[in-house]
Amino acid sequence: MTEHLSSSKEPSAENHAGKPKSLRLNDKVGPFRSGESVCRMLGIPEDELKDRVDTHQILELTTSDGYAIYPDWQFRNGDLIQGWSAVLQSFQKVRASAWLIATWAQTPSKELNDLSPISWLRQSRATEKVVKYAESYAARWSR
Asked which of 1-15, 20-34, 93-107 is least confident by mean pLDDT, the reply is 1-15
Residue 10 lies in a domain: no
Instruction: Identify residue 92 by its one-letter amino acid code.
Output: Q
Residue 124 lies in a domain: yes
- Residues paired with 68 in a beta bridge: 62
71 or 2: which carries more pLDDT confidence? 71
Closest CA to 8 of 27, 26, 35: 26
What is residue 118's three-state secondary structure? Answer: helix
Closest CA to 73 of 9, 26, 19, 40: 26
Task: Give the number of domains in the chain.
Answer: 1
For residue 22, the model assigns a pLDDT of 53
Q: What does the pLDDT look like over 94-135, one tens digit per residue?
A: 888 999 999 999 999 999 999 999 999 999 889 999 999 999
Residue 69 lies in a domain: yes
Rounded to two decimals, the pTM is: 0.81
Across the beta sheet with 32-34, what order do the strands follow? 32-34, 68-71, 61-62
Residue 66 lies in a domain: yes
Residue 1 lies in a domain: no
User: Above 80 in pLDDT, residue 1?
Assistant: no
Answer whether 130's CB lies under 8 Å from 117's CB: yes
Residue 70 lies in a domain: yes
Instruction: Identify residue 124 by its one-letter amino acid code.
Output: S
For residue 124, the model assigns a pLDDT of 87
Range of the domain at 80: 15-141
Residue 35 lies in a domain: yes
For residue 27, the model assigns a pLDDT of 75
Residue 47 lies in a domain: yes
